[in-house]
Amino acid sequence: MAEHATLVLIKPDAIARGLAGAVLSRLEQLPLKLIGAKVTRVSQELAEVHYQALRDKPFFNELIQHIRGELHHVEYVLALVYAGPDAVAAVRQVAGATNPEAASPTSLRGSLGRMTTKGVMENILHASSDDQEARREITLWFRPDELLMPLYASKPIAGQMRVWE
């Protein structure tokens, strides 16, 4: 059972600009295993729970609109789960700092991200910040049967269906 896993969301700004493949190519270079992937719409509720720690920030509403694709006329994100040694730190390093202007030019955000003239932070991808957040986020975005590996404890509910414990 993998001890370390992380959630990546390829955000609507990257989808709109045709950068999903570039993100995947870069993440593929890491010694991590892709154990979950899906295209999914982001409901208001999912967005708010995902970013619950930021609900008091002045940019919260814009952040929710952004991840829901409302700023880029995109209906979905690409959600990915990577597992392996130090998955959280490895993906954060490749992602780069939150603000694309401050991110290393060799990182995904530094090379492909941008601040728009309207002040929207188009930073390409979400990456979990620590193991605890990764677990919270992965179990929020994925059902147990959507992952190739039983990362966390789950229980059967009906037939083949399982839910996180």
Catalytic residue annotation: 126
Q: How far apart are CA 25 and CA 46, in angstroms?
A: 27
CB 136 → Mg ion: shortest distance, Å? 11
3-state secondary structure of 104: coil
Residue 79 near ligand IDP by CB under 6 A: no
Residue 123 near ligand IDP by CB under 6 A: yes
Termini Cα distance of the chain: 16
Tokens of 90: 């490895």
Residues in 127-146 that interact with ligand IDP by CB under 6 A: 129
Residue 116 near ligand IDP by CB under 6 A: no
Q: Which of 5, 91, 121, 147 binds ligand IDP (CB under 6 A)?
A: 121
- Could you tell me how many residues of this chain bind ligand IDP (CB under 6 A)? 8
Strands (DSSP E) contained in the chain are 5-10, 33-40, 77-83, 114-115, 121-122, 125-127, 154-158, 161-164
CB 153 → ligand IDP: shortest distance, Å? 26
**Cβ density class 17-33: b for 16+ within 10 Å, e for less:** bebbebbeebbeebebe
Binding mask 49-68 for ligand IDP (x = CB under 6 A): -----x----x---x-----
Q: Which residues bind ligand IDP (CB under 6 A)?
A: 54, 59, 63, 98, 121, 123, 126, 129
